[in-house]
Amino acid sequence: MISRTKAMIKRYTLAALLFSATLGAQTNVEFEKDNFPGKKDEYKEAKRNVEAGDDFFNVGMGFSLEAFQAFAKENGYYPAGLNETRTFEAIDQFSRCIDPYLKANAFNPNNALLNYRIGVAYYFQPEKKLKALTYLEQAFKLKPGVDPDIHYYLGRLYHLNMQWDKAMDEYKMHQSMLRTNPKDNKERISDMDKKVNECINGKDFMKTPQRVFIDNVGNGINTKFPEYGPIITADESMMFFTSVRDNCTGGLQEGIYFEDVFMSLYKNGSWQPAVNIGSKINSKNHDATGGLSPDGQTLFIYRGDNGGDLYESSLFGIEWSEPERMNKNINTERHEPSCGLSYDGANFYFVSSRKEGSFGTHDIWMSTRDPKGKWGTGINIGNTVNTMYNEDAIFVHPDGKTFYFSSQGHKSMGGYDIFKCTFENGKWSTPENLGYPINGPDDDVFFVISGSGRHGYFASAKSGGDYGQSYGEKDIYKITFLGPEKPLALNTEDNLIASLAAPVKNAAAPPVEIKTSSVTILKGTITDAVTQKPLAAQIELVDNELRQVIATFTSNSSTGKYLVTLPSGKNYGIAVKADGYLFHSENFDIPATAAYQEVVKDVQLKNVQVGAVIVLRNIFFDYNKSTLRPESQVELDRLIKLLTDIPTMKIEISGHTDKRGDDDYNLRLSQNRSQSVVDYLTQKGIAPSRLTAMGYGETKLITQGVTEEDHQQNRRTEFKILSK
């Protein structure tokens, strides 16, 4: 019985012979002078062009193969931001060979080897890669055995064109030839199996496309050079990204332009022209984006020294600090290229090529911050997420449990695809491919999502078409999530008729749910209440149910601006603190079903002076009772610390109610509640002589409004400094 692959070989060979026999113009014509009688001068010129093109072509092949083989051997991988054309000399050499080759091809368009080499040269031109297909198809028609790799290149180009069946046929043809020497071609034979599976996956995902709109972010960010690694602030106002440009700080070294970090602001509906982030971040080495802290005040970067390490830099005013290398629990002599930080700052996820404990070439690891603020020993997150291939480009969602990353493994459509998984109850879920058209047959990497969940950004080698103009080898794209499609309302009879007319067969799996999170972004400016001077303040985020400070953020020391992301489903206490000032208290109760919202809250901190009044928004009592609830502990302990730090301070604790209910009852309730606070403080060692309990009932209303929000604002506990 003849195998399908052998049958294909016979079919292609027969087709080529028949084609050559019936169309003389399609017969392979060698560049020999006897084949061009009466065209001596034209032949000599064409021959010179072929030889000139060959010089560039051979050098380009040497750069593209040798440089990348050496890099892969040293580092054990090809980085997600780059591909096989990363060596710019290779791109340049292939570019130079195209013009003389095309001139020669105009004279003799029927030479198989020339068409093959033009096709290969175009294949190694990122923005012109798809032009290669016409020439490679022509080369195969003229001479099916023109080069042993012809089926590989045809397979890659059909794959990139999403011509899945044709690609699979070519891959299998190439694999059949490799099997004539299985010992030397073991890895390449396995790679063909992988690529065939990618084509199968691609066909499957295209049956159920995601409801998204994808567009190139434009030439404010993208250039003819590669751009990748976008990271954004949660409010989508600023983007950092990596680019490899001819004006980068490191310049051209060993055939490669070194990476730099760039920044762009979002204004007036578009991303503004990007600027180099500066010499403190960008060095003579590779410098690339790694991740961003939730408050936007710490930037994690990759530098190419010591095998490739992760660094962190803090924003002081408008200047980034000199990056500091992260500790040895994170960095090794191996390669650590990218990272992500959990919203509470407790867990640091990073990619590493370290061998011990790994499942593949590059795995995702996690480190937990210890009580002293140091990062602990890295732990591999396991083979539910990590594969025998490469994982990279981490993004940790603000909800604290959803995780995005890029992988060459799992159910990929080709190259790197973007995947999603969740961490709940101590376990990782099976990663899900984000589907088509977010993912395609080429590299799709570095996915991030805005706090609203409305937009995502990622880097891709997509080329024009439905995605807008492409500018270079890799561009940054914006995803707009359109949400679920509203079904048409059909009555029972309509549904029955529809199902009979078109019964469901081989239904494709539903699209993966992309997390368009329910988070609240709290942002604003922190200033001195008197001078209006911006302040560098600490913002403590408290889980009131757990009675724990779960995260600490900082405001910008120059502008006073801050940004905090609050996942839904919790009651949060927020305390804003700065040296020499009284703390400011806020409470946010965010139901699990809450929609995305941005809350702008400017905070004015008061000096520690007699007469200053502070509302304690995280003091809680049971309904119509004066018993303190346990959730009040963190706020009360913060007040104890203030009184301990200033041992001469005396304060009044005052209770207030809304205007509903009996006046006398409200007065008694407020007095009892303020006394409960005083009792707690004295039990913790504060002298009773320093404390006064006062109940004002409804006599000091903040607002006369009648909404529930107004009533809530009036119900409060305050403290007032009597003396210090």
Question: Which of the listed CATH numbers 3.30.70.100, 1.10.10.10, 3.30.43.10, 2.60.40.1120 matches domain 518-607?
Answer: 2.60.40.1120
Mean local confidence (pLDDT), 368-392: 95
Q: How many helices (H) and strands (E) does the chain have?
A: 13, 37
Count other Cβ atoms within 10 Å, centred on residue 722. 14
In the chain, the percentage of residues whose pLDDT exceeds 70 is 87
Buried b (16+ CB within 10 A) or exposed e, 193-207: eebbbbbebbbbbbe
Of 182-191, 501-510, 527-536, the poorest mean pLDDT is in 501-510
Q: How confident is the model at residue 506 (pLDDT cuts 50, 70, 90)?
A: very low
The β-bridge relationship of strands 455-460 and 444-449 is antiparallel
Residue 59: pLDDT over 50: yes
pLDDT tens digit string along 24-37? 457 999 999 999 99
The three-point CA angle 233-236-239 to 5° equals: 60
Q: Which pLDDT score, from 0 to 100, does residue 82 have? A: 43
Residue 77: pLDDT over 90: no
Query: CA 296, CA 644: separation in Å to the nearest integer?
Result: 33
Residue 69: pLDDT over 60: no
DSSP letter for 66, please. Answer: I
Mean local confidence (pLDDT), 227-243: 94
Q: Which pLDDT score, from 0 to 100, does residue 465 have? A: 53
Of 124-138, 163-177, 386-400, 485-499, the poorest mean pLDDT is in 485-499
Note the CATH architecture for domain 212-484.
Answer: 6 Propeller (2.120)
Residue scoring higher pLDDT (594 or 506): 594
pLDDT tens digit string along 551-564? 899 899 889 999 98
Q: How confident is the model at residue 624 (pLDDT cuts 50, 70, 90)?
A: confident
Q: What is the mean pLDDT of the chain?
A: 87
Of 279-293, 463-477, 567-581, the poorest mean pLDDT is in 463-477
Q: How confident is the model at residue 594 (pLDDT cuts 50, 70, 90)?
A: confident
Residue scoring higher pLDDT (320 or 128): 320
Q: Which pLDDT score, from 0 to 100, does residue 567 have? A: 86
pLDDT tens digit string along 203-219? 999 999 999 999 999 99
Contact 307, 335 (CB under 8 A): yes
Same fold across 212-484 and 609-724: no
pLDDT tens digit string along 90-115? 788 899 999 999 999 999 999 999 99
Q: Which pLDDT score, from 0 to 100, does residue 78 have? A: 43
Mean local confidence (pLDDT), 667-696: 96
**Any idea where the domains of the chain sit in the sequence?**
4-147, 212-484, 518-607, 609-724
Residue 76: pLDDT over 80: no
Query: Which residues lie closer than 8 Å to 164 by C-beta, 6 or more apart?
Result: 158, 199, 200, 202, 203
Contact 582, 719 (CB under 8 A): no
pTM, 2 dp? 0.81
The CATH homologous superfamily of the domain defined by 609-724: OmpA-like domain (3.30.1330.60)
The β-bridge relationship of strands 238-243 and 260-267 is antiparallel
pLDDT tens digit string along 431-489? 999 999 999 998 899 999 988 888 999 998 876 556 667 788 789 999 999 877 665 54
Buried b (16+ CB within 10 A) or exposed e, 423-458: beeeebeebbbbbbbbbbbbbbbbbbbbbbbebbbb
Q: Which pLDDT score, from 0 to 100, does residue 514 have? A: 59
Q: Which pLDDT score, from 0 to 100, does residue 452 have? A: 83
